[in-house]
Amino acid sequence: MIDFAVPSHLENYIGGYLIGPLSGKFIDNVNPATGEVYCQIPDSGEKDVELAVGAAKKAFPKWSATPAEERFLVLNRIATLIDEHRDALAEAESTDNGKPLWLSKRVDIPRASANFRFFATGIMHFSADSHTMEQTAINYTLRQPIGVVGCISPWNLPLYLFTWKIAPALAAGNCVVAKPSEVTPLTAFLLARICKEAGLPEGVLNIVHGTGPGVGEHIVKHPAIKAISFTGSTRAGERIASIAAPMFKKLSLELGGKNPNIIFADCDFGKMLKTTVQSSFANQGQICLCGSRILVEESIYEKFKTAFLEEVKKLKVGDPMEADSKQGAVVSKVHFDKVMGCIETAKEEGGSTLAGGKAVKPEGRCAGGYFIEPTVIEGLGPHCRTNLEEIFGPVVTLQKFSTEEEALALANAGHYGLSATIWTSDVSRANRVAMQVEAGIIWVNCWLLRDLRTPFGGIKNSGVGREGGWEALRFFTEAKNVCVQL
Ligand X SMILES: NC(=O)c1ccc[n+]([C@@H]2O[C@H](COP(=O)([O-])OP(=O)(O)OC[C@H]3O[C@@H](n4cnc5c(N)ncnc54)[C@H](O)[C@@H]3O)[C@@H](O)[C@H]2O)c1
By CB under 6 A, the residues from 154 to 183 that bind ligand 2VS are: 156-157, 161, 164
In whole angstroms, how close is the CB of 154 to ligand X at the nearest point? Answer: 3
Closest CA to 122 of 440, 448, 447, 477: 477
Catalytic option among 217, 254, 297, 467: 254
Name the β-bridge partners of 420. Answer: 442
Where in 102-121 is the site for ligand X (CB under 6 A)? none
Radius of gyration in angstroms for the set of CA atoms belonging to the chain, rounded to a whole number: 23
Judged by CB under 6 A, the chain residues 443 through 482 that form the site for ligand X are: 458, 463
Site for ligand 2VS in 273-292 (CB under 6 A): 287-289
90-125 CB burial, b ≥16 within 10 A, e <16: bbbbbbbbbbbbbbbbebbbbbbbbbbbbbbebbee
Please list, residue by residue across 292-303, b when 16 or more beta carbons sit within 10 angstroms of its beta carbon and e when fewer do: bbbbbbeebbee
Residues 143 to 182: which contact ligand X by CB under 6 A? 152-156, 161, 179, 181-182
Query: Taking a C-beta distance cutoff of 8 angstroms, is the pair 421, 259 a contact?
Result: yes
Residue 456 binds to ligand 2VS (criterion: CB under 6 A): yes
Least separation in angstroms between CB 153 and ligand 2VS: 10
Contact 227, 149 (CB under 8 A): yes
CA distance 258 to 387: 8
Site string for ligand X, 240-269 (x = CB under 6 A): x-------------xxxx------------
Distance of CA 373 to the CA centre of its chain: 23
Cα 152 to Cα 37, 42, 237, 369, distances in angstroms: 24, 16, 11, 27
* Residue 152 binding partner per list ligand X, ligand 2VS, none, with a CB distance cut-off of 5 to 8 Å that depends on partner kind: ligand X
Stretch that binds ligand 2VS, among 153-161, 315-323, 399-407, 436-444 (CB under 6 A): 153-161
Is 254 annotated in the active site?
A: yes
Q: Which does 291 bind (CB under 5 to 8 A by kind): ligand 2VS, ligand X, none?
A: none
Residue 164 interface partner, choices ligand 2VS, ligand X, none, CB cut-off 5-8 Å depending on type: ligand 2VS
Among 239, 250, 333, 338, binds ligand X (CB under 6 A): 239
Q: What residues numbered 220-259 form the site for ligand 2VS, per CB under 6 A?
A: none
- How far is Cα 70 from Cα 128, in angstroms, rounded to an integer? 20
Q: Please, which residues have CB within 8 angstroms of residue 401's CB and are 6 or more apart in sequence?
A: 295, 296, 297, 298, 407, 410
Q: Residue of minimal CB distance from ligand 2VS?
A: 288
455-to-241, 425, 465, 470 alpha-carbon distances in Å? 21, 25, 9, 8
Residue count, binding to ligand X (CB under 6 A):
31
Q: Which is nearer to ligand X, 119 or 304 (CB)?
A: 119
Task: Choose the contact partner of 216 out of ligand 2VS, ligand X, none; CB within 5 to 8 A by kind.
Answer: ligand X
Residue 213 DSSP label: I
Q: Of these partners, ligand X, ligand 2VS, none, which one is at the site of residue 147 (CB under 5 to 8 Å by kind)?
A: none
Interface positions with ligand 2VS (CB under 6 A): 156-157, 161, 164, 287-289, 450, 456
Q: Which residues are marked as active site?
A: 254
